[in-house]
Amino acid sequence: MYGGISIIELLAMLLGDDTPADELVAKTYAESGAGGTWRAALHDGFVDRTQLPRAAVQAGGGGGAALTATAAGGSGAQNGNLEVTFLPSSQTYDGRFANNPWLQETPDFLTKVTWDNVALISPDTADALGVSSQDVVRIKVGDRALDIVALVMPGQARGSIGVILGGGRTRAGRVGNKQREWVGGGFDAYKLRTSAGLDFVTGATVSRTGTRYKIATTQEHHDIRRGFSISATIGDKEIQKKLPDLVRETDRAGFADVAYKAEKTHPYYHDHEHGRGYSLYKEQTYDGRRWAMAIDLGNCMGCNACVVACQAENNVPVVGKREVTRNREMSWLRIDRYFRGDLNDPEVVGQPVACQHCENAPCETVCPVGATLHSSEGLNDMVYNRCVGTRYCLNNCPYRVRRFNFVDYHQEFNDARNNVRKLLFNPDVTVRERGVMEKCTYCVQRIQAAKIKAKNPAPHGAGERGPIADGTITTACQAACPTEAIVFGDLSDPESRVSKLHGDRRQYELLGELNDKPRTRFLARVRNPNPELAPAGKPAGHH
Amino acid sequence: MSATKSIHPDEKYKADKMGGRLFKVGLAAGAALLIISVILGATKGDHWRRFLYAYVVGWSFVFSIALGSLFFIISHHLTRAKWGIVLRRLAEFMAGTLPFLFVLGLVFVLPVLFGNKHLYFWTHDGLHDPKHPLWHHMHHKFGWLDPAFFAGRYVLYMAVYIGLARYFAKKSAEMDTAPDAAAAAAIADRLRVVAGPATVAFGFVTLFSITDLFMTLSPTWYSTIYSVNYFAGAMLATYCTLALLARVIQQNGKLVHSVTVEHYHDIGKYMFGWTFFWIYTAFSQFMLQWYGNIPEETIFYSYRMFSDWQYVSLALLVGQWAFPYLCLLSRWTKRILPLLMFFAAWQLVFHWVDLYWNVMPNAQWTMETTAHGVFNMGPLAGDPAKHTIGFHFLDITVWLALVGLFLAAVGKAMKGNLIPVKDPKLGECLAFENY
Amino acid sequence: MTTPANDDETPGAADAPPPDRPGHADGPDGGRGDDGDDGRGTGNGNGHGSDEELHGLLAEFETPGALIAAARKVRNAGHTEFDCYSPFPVHGIDPAMGIKATRLPIVVFLGGLTGLVLGTLMQWWMNAYDWPWNVAGKPTWSIPANVPISYETTILLSVLTTFFGMWAANKLPQVWHPFFRLDRFARVTDDGFFLGVEAGDKRFDLEQTRQLLVAAGATHIEECYVDARPEARTMPRWIMAAMAVLTMVALIPVALVFKARATKSPDPHWHVFSDMDYQPKLKSDQPFADFADGRANRGELPGTVARGQLKADDAYYRGIAGGQWLTGLPAQVEVSEATLARGKQRYDIYCAPCHGFDGAGMGIVPARVEALGGAWPARNLVERGSAVITMPNGQLYNTISNGYNTMMGYASQMPVADRWAVVLYVRALQRSQNAAESELPAGSQVR
Amino acid sequence: MASPSEAAAGSDGEAQAVFRGITDDVSRVALNPTPKWWWPAFGVSNLMLLCLVVSLYHLFTTGIGVWGNNNIQGWAWDITNFVFWIGIGHAGTLISAVLYLFRQDWRTSINRSAEAMTIFAVAAAGIFPIIHTGRPWFAWWMIPHPNDMGMWPQFRSPLMWDVFAISTYATTSILFWYMGMVPDLATLRDRAKERWKQVGYGLLALGWRGSARQWHRYERAYLILAALSTPLVLSVHSVVSFDFATSQNPGWHTTIFPPYFVAGAIFSGFAMVATLLVPLRHLCGLKHIIKESHIEAMCKIMIATGLMVGGAYGIEIFIAWYSGNAGEWFTFRNRVLGEYSWAYFAMVSCNVLVPQFFWIRKCRTNPWIVVGLCILINVGMWFERFVIIATSLARQAMPGMWGYFSPTRWDVLTFIGSFGLFFTLFLLFARFLPVIAMAEVKAVSPEAHAGKDHH
């Protein structure tokens, strides 16, 4: 970027060759005989027909049963003989990305932890050890010891401690270095890891050090099970009760039933397309385009790509660990993760939730200055510079997808030394000031760009004013989704993918009973577990 | 101010035969109308549904007046209010009808107990099937909305009301026969002390009894302010009835000097005040459910806003609130007795419309089970606009029959003095002046 | 300003002699035994000279009851210009004095009605008419949601009408009144009950009225004089001047606001609060000193290939085939009427200004330069035998894309397909300009 | 008495003495030199006010982030404090207006200070809606005015209703208070010795001279103001309750909120009046005007309103269960048994159980007990708002966004600061203005009828 020279160029220069690096590489590539051009290989990211030959492998006899036993039972080992497994971090991998704040603040899909690496302990083992979340524990293996914060993790195998790598770096950079508790940075798990046991070691002893360490999670901001037992039960039970409604699922048999409909019609639910139904007023209608989204839960695997893509596209600030502990993370799109069933062997369900762009959005009606209102195409628009920040909309959003700039998260850009980091902003998206509410916009800047383009004559645009072809606009999350779980488009076009998905029998509205008429609809997940692998006595995805 | 007066020497304040006459007239009219209504109900051919609904409306009308009278008595003792002492006995007579109203109420409570499925929606058998669309909303409260438990609670609520009414009436009557002023003052003090806990009991029982008796007529709908709104209407009706009753008694030559225009003026003020409170609670309920727009709640209003009922709703808004409210603003409306009587009668009629409007639309909540075991919520489900008022002559006759019977019960209770002659504050009440 | 409370030890009421001189109020100061601290009540302003005229008689009574009785008497005697003064509202005095009920309630009702109408209209006009917008699917004019504000404006205007209506009816504020000159009158806000008959009353007669008041039970009677000079009855000039100046000063900001609204200004508006006008983000055309080229816009990094930008087809994208300029046309380019038409259109936009519509190199730009006496020739594209004619298609394409000498590249303006279309059109121009007669279609040759 | 004429008048002169006694006692507070207790009290209040200044400076320069509010609980202490203060204000209006309409003469002894308390409580409340916004410098956008953006406020928002309700309420309270004070200011004008006080009180008294014609219109206007204030006071807290009740949030969206909030407001307001007046009558020597029976009457009203509030708690829970709405029922179970149960039980015990002590006569008459119980009630009423706001928001429909609010030191400082503002204003009032409505006390005293024929 600054016209510096790369290592190969330097080496080549030392050898007296001042060919530019790319040409050097291209030359080497051509010499390698891989076929095609370097440019093509660079563009495609792979070289065709260079894969390894397919290996023929077969599962051993009775493999299913063995796997089941491991998952459900674990080793059940006593303290002193615990197993420690080393897991790469979903954020920093082995620590190499520790200096990337986007990644640091992207919550791990399962643990929802940001900014730190932790030791995962199953609920049973934690009870046996007398450890609870946020306790700093000392894990001893032989003469090696590691002080790391514990997180009680449903689904972790009994008797096994999952130590996540990647934290506790001292020379990673301004962001990645291990710092004070409130800044994060994690723990150096390599203290335990030797070449003798790269993936796991056994014979570990875990003891409480007596100190506590605040973990910043984006869900269960505190342990739901805190407080006296009734309090804990109420939260847990409620989640279990809500789950079948929030994250709808069915199994193969259920889906095969032609009468299956994920939208469990509320008795007072009315047909959105016709009539007033039970609304006490004539609702607004939309003549032109109607943007909408469909999220197929069956495809979502919780990889977080959408979350990071949204953050990059929409100039969503990274807020730091302390703010995350105060529930102030700014990500417009979050993936809710729930555990179902026995907490030692739960099923995990995830659900990406962003602004649902309700037609009857409860957030809009309470804004005193009209800073959030509906566009003629059905977008729930946020007018940043009209917002005075009453936060009423936030309180009134049943989906809790609105994000408030509690302090100036862009303050550091006042410092000239951070100038070059300004380049990370998307020029098409306003950077929000403190005191302003924000939320998912369906990437309105992309929609507007497409609309402008559609008005331009060919060949830049479609050549005439008219419909924007389905698929022309992709939201950032949609573009990043590897499984195409997210589909965006125009409902007024009956042939668009999103229209079809909205007509799918797996579709349902989140919290539809409120008559908010969300434009984002979910498609129920169809679980189809291998009956051989499903633990005995456990219904496969029934609700 | 602290000026007092003694009872006018020419005053006739003994009930004498007036109670008996009222009893006869009321009973005759009530019985006759009731017979007509029963005949109409029997020929209506809807399993007495309309009759029962009309009966509940009529009963809730007279019950609200008795209830309001009871609160009038208790609150007057509690606050040591002076102006209404001359009216207290009349209120006691009206509250004294509660035992009789208890019996009248059994007309719709007993059928429910013995398996009538046409009045209360929750008695419908189909609801107990988990496949029923409303099962999710209802199944947890089948224990509460159990006919036997319901009847038991009815007895309990009425027992509390009757107990309170009898206690206050008895003590008040004792005051008349008190040997001296000190003894009467002691009774008055005693009543004031009891009035505190009595108000508490009254308040809590009313919060639940109204919810139980009338709100559960709407299938799944709920509103926390419902009983407060009913109570507001009840108080309004009570003051109107007090005004009319006092006037009728005066025209029979009694209490001519005791009840003055000042007292009527105060009744008028309270009518005005309760009209305001009624619209306040009604608006709170409506606006909040309109604003929230959650189908579970808006269903109540959607049936009353988008069908023929909308005209009743509008009539209620104008008749129960806007028109009398504006007119009662003026001091003169309250002091010119014919005008005041007109508004008292007007408000009473609209009080009935209010109750009718609250209860009657539920009558079309029919539940049907098709042959295929698929439940639907009746022919009108999902289309509020198809709702009709379904007015039947029965609606009026049952109401008037119950009013007649209520008046008969008032006549029965009307014994002894028409004013508490030995009440320590009576003098101040007689001298009462609005300033 | 009046003087502090001051008890005159005036002899009893009934036999009170008329004061020996008008405005007598500075009798022996007894004061109140309990405070013993006055003696300042020497009636500053109570004395009167020749310029003073009688305002009225002020009689004192001991009880509210006595005041009512006196008021009735005075009224019955036919007086109208009189008033009673008491520390609190005395009940029963209104009928005694014959005060008619005030019409304030009607005024307040009208005020409230105005508030109701204005409040409702305001909401309708602002939310449903002037700028209706879709909020949560609710109707633009949502009447139930307008009730609270209409209600509040009704009350607000009623309250303001009541308050200022009372001021107006009572002629408040009126910080000065002749009776304030009398020290004794200070007790009216304490424990004194007074009845004042004004000299302007048509039945007023100093002696008779005095006798009437004595008969009514007055404990003390005093004459009250005021300064009769006209200038004493108007406000001092300096106060008027000061108020005028203050009003003018107060109007300046308002005037400025109106001026600002009425005029247009090329200046950017003041940023009292930045309100996200200054963004930390960089837009594509923004200068940025941190880079050598001073631009925020970064091009593709050398050696990288963006998604979808592989452009592996050298013939099509670069006009090269096998290391040589392409002589034919890439497979993607279709030789058709439509392509030629497109090529002509693009050529007329991008090329013709210099090369001329005919390709002869005399477009409007060179023509203009020549007209101004300079020379700025563009290449004649159609000149027989010139390099352009023999140039391979690929090179021509390359020239269009990347420029030649002073001609800039048009790659950023014209997509690849268009450039090929222009190549085609230039070829057509060349052909048409240099066509042999034999090449013309039969029947169109010039004879 | 010094004057022979008065002495001769016998009982009639005694009436005048009674009036003068009232004047003396009340004017003394404002006109005599500053009492010793006043300066320390004022100093402490100013220190608390300083907390407000400091915390507001920090808030304005840093952002709402200095408080503990978050993306789950957008409102927490800020709106809790707002509703708390606005509720406190209600007792003043109730005492002056409603009790006036009901001819409760005992109100005259306390209405002035109660009205003052209203205004200062509204002032303390009024700062919160402004400072709680993310960009308070744009709070004026909520006032409808033509602007270069061509935009209007959104009148469907309950916050806009609040703007109108609170400003109307503040205006009305101030006018009502001031109007009631005009005759008493005239008294102070006529009694003040220092020239600047004479001028000051004189200007404020508008030249009041107690003429019967003036009194006639004044009384009528006062009655109208009282009649207007009564529905206003109902509407203001109802509108405040709409802030919550119009939403779809379980725990917020319930129809009983308007009357329930009003009852709660009166409840807390009376507790605050008693908390202030019990010490004030001792310190200012007004025990014979603010009598024990007045304190007792207030205690009884607290029982009544406390029970209304308790009834609302009951019916809310019952209907939450009855409704069959799972979210609604969960919110209430969570309120009672969830992790905020400590707040819920603090609320119930302070608001429902504590006032029950007032059934006992001893608890109504002992000043220490009264003040203690009243402070507990105010604590309870603060918790009521906290419970409604914070616990309802903590666990809404999406379990993925459940949270727990923890206040920061700035939350605490701002809250203390609001008390500083309130107390500072109240002490200034108690020092310089007529703390008791002298004219009204005189008018309702038996002596007001002296010399009248008993008819």
Burial of D300 (0-12, 13-18, 19+ CB in 10 A): middle
Could you say which of B138, B200, B225 has the minimum Cβ distance to residue D256? B225
Type of residue at D179 = M
Euclidean distance between CA atoms A53 and A49, whole angstroms: 10
% of residues, chain C, pLDDT over 70:
88
> Residue C33 — pLDDT band, cuts 50, 70, 90?
very low
User: What 3 state SS string does A341-388 have?
Assistant: CCCCCCEEEEEEECCCCCCCCHHHHCCCCCCEEECCCCCEEECHHHCC
Write out chain C residues lying below 8 Å of D182, CB-based.
Answer: 172
Nearest-angstrom CA–CA distance, A398 and C272: 36
Overall fold of domain A229-527:
Alpha-Beta Plaits (3.30.70)
Q: Mean pLDDT of all residues in chain D?
A: 88
CB atoms C136 and A364 under 8 Å? yes
pLDDT at A214: 87
Q: Rounded to whole angstroms, how far apart are CA atoms B302 and B292?
A: 13
Residue in chain C lying closest to A516 (CA)? C136
Helix (H, G, I), strand (E, B) or coil at D309: helix
- Give me the total of CB pairs closer than 8 Å, taking one residue from chain C and one from chain D: 272
Q: Which residues, 6+ apart, have CB-to-CB distance to C234 below 8 Å?
A: none
A71-75, B35-39, C404-408: segment of lowest average pLDDT: A71-75
- For residue A84, the 8-state DSSP code is E
Cβ contacts (< 8 Å) between C145 and chain B: which residues? Answer: 287, 291
**pLDDT confidence tier of residue A543, bands split at 50, 70 and 90:** very low
Measuring CA to CA, how many Å separate D233 from each of D267, D303, D422? 13, 20, 20
The domain spans of chain A are: 7-44, 68-217, 229-527
Sequence spans of domains, chain C:
1-230, 314-435
Most confident listed range (C103-112, C231-240, D325-334): C103-112
Among residues B176, D62, C144, the alpha carbon closest in space to that of A406 is found at: D62
Would you state the structure tokens that stand for residue B362, as one six-digit string? 């539920």
For residue A203, is pLDDT > 90? no
Test mutation, B286, B291, B327, chain C, max C CBs within 10 A:
B291
Q: In this predicted model, which residue has the larger pLDDT, C218 or C439? A: C218
pLDDT above 80: residue C368: yes
- Position B23 scores a pLDDT of 92
- Highest mean pLDDT: which range of B333-347, C205-219, C379-393, C406-420: B333-347
Q: Cβ of B295 and A265 within 8 Å? A: no
Distance of alpha carbon D8 from alpha carbon B278, whole angstroms: 57
pLDDT for res B365 = 64
- Residue A458's pLDDT is what? 57
- Tens digit of pLDDT for each residue in D17-40? 888 888 888 888 888 888 888 999
CB contact under 8 A, C144 and B329: no
Q: Is D10 inside any structural domain?
A: no
Mean pLDDT value of segment B117-142:
80
Q: Which of A218-222, B426-430, C205-209, D121-125 has the lowest mean pLDDT?
A: A218-222
Give the CATH fold of the C314-435 domain: Cytochrome Bc1 Complex; Chain D, domain 2 (1.10.760)
- Distance between CA atoms of residues B186 and C165, nearest Å: 49
Beta-carbon neighbour count of residue C235 at 10 Å?
9
Identify whether D433 is part of a domain: yes
Q: How far is B132 from chain A (nearest CA, A)?
A: 9
* Per-residue confidence (pLDDT) for residue B372, from 0 to 100: 44
Contact A84, A202 (CB under 8 A): yes
| Contact present, C198 and C21 (Cβ < 8 Å) | no
A2 interaction partners in chain C (CB closer than 8 Å):
291-292
Is the model more confident about C173 or about A403? A403
Q: Which residue has the higher pLDDT, A267 or D436?
A: D436
Residue D207 covered by a domain: no
Q: Which two tokens stand for residue C170?
A: 């009572």
Per residue in B139-156, pLDDT (tens digit) is 888 888 889 999 999 999
Interface of C with A (CB under 8 A): 133-139, 142, 145, 274-276, 279-284, 288, 290-292, 296, 298, 301-305, 307, 309-310, 312, 415, 417-418
Which chain D residues contact residue A234 at CB under 8 A?
A: 330, 333-334, 337-338
Interchain contact A40–C (C-beta under 8 A): yes
pLDDT at C9: 40
Are residues D2 and C32, on separate chains, in Cβ contact within 8 Å? yes
Residue B185 to residues B165, C370, D90, Cα–Cα distance (Å): 20, 123, 35
Of A1, A362, A373, the CB nearest to C134: A373
Residues of chain D contacting A370 with CB distance shorter than 8 Å: 151-154
Query: D397 and A398 in contact by Cβ < 8 A?
Result: yes
Would you place residue C1 in the very low, low, confident or very high pLDDT band (cuts 50, 70, 90)? Answer: very low
Band of pLDDT at residue C284, cut at 50, 70 and 90? confident
CATH of the domain at D292: 1.20.1630.10
pLDDT score at C20: 41
* Nearest CA distance, B295 vs chain A (angstrom): 5
| Residues of D whose CB is below 8 A from B431 | none
Å from D187 to nearest chain B CA? Answer: 25
**Residue C394 · residue C423 · CB < 8 Å:** no
Summarised one tens digit per residue, pLDDT across range A506-516 is 999 888 888 88
Residue-level pLDDT at A37: 77
pLDDT at A457: 60
Residues from chain B that touch A276, judged by Cβ atoms under 8 A, are 302, 306
Q: Does the structure show a pLDDT above 50 at B217?
A: yes
Q: How confident is the model at residue D66 (pLDDT cuts 50, 70, 90)?
A: very high
Q: Six-digit token pair at A137?
A: 């524990």
Range name among B176-190, C14-28, C350-364, D436-450 with the lowest pLDDT average: C14-28
| Domain that includes residue D84, residue range | 57-182+235-449
In angstroms, the separation between the Cα of residue D212 and the nearest Cα of chain B is: 16
Confidence of residue C34 (pLDDT cuts 50, 70, 90): very low
Residues D231-258, mean pLDDT to the nearest whole number: 91
Q: Which of A242, A336, A368 sits opposite D157 (nearest CB)?
A: A368
Q: How far is CA C77 from the centre of its chain?
A: 60
- Is the preceding omega at residue A459 within 30 degrees of 0, hence cis? yes
DSSP string of A113-171, one letter each residue: EES---EEE-HHHHHHHT--TTEEEEEEETTEEEEEEEEE-TTPPTTEEEEE-S--BSS
* CA–CA dist B361, B308 (Å, integer): 10
Give the Cα separation of A539 and A152 in Å (integer). 25
Residue B136 has pLDDT above 60, yes or no: yes
Alpha carbons B382 and B379: distance in angstroms, whole number = 9
> What residue in C sits closest to B289 (Cα-Cα)?
C144
- In this complex, the chains that touch C, judged by 3 or more CB pairs closer than 8 A, are A, B, D
Fold of A68-217: Barwin-like endoglucanases (2.40.40)
Q: Which chains have 3+ CB pairs within 8 A of B? A: A, C, D
Angstrom distance (rounded) from CA C229 to CA C52: 8
- Residue to test with chain A: of B121, B140, B302, most A Cβ within 10 A: B302
Q: Best-predicted range by mean pLDDT among A201-210, B63-72, B246-255, C51-60?
A: B63-72
A514 at interface of D, judged by CB pairs closer than 8 A: yes
Of residues B18 and A275, the one with the higher pLDDT is: B18
Q: What is the mean pLDDT of residues B270-295?
A: 92
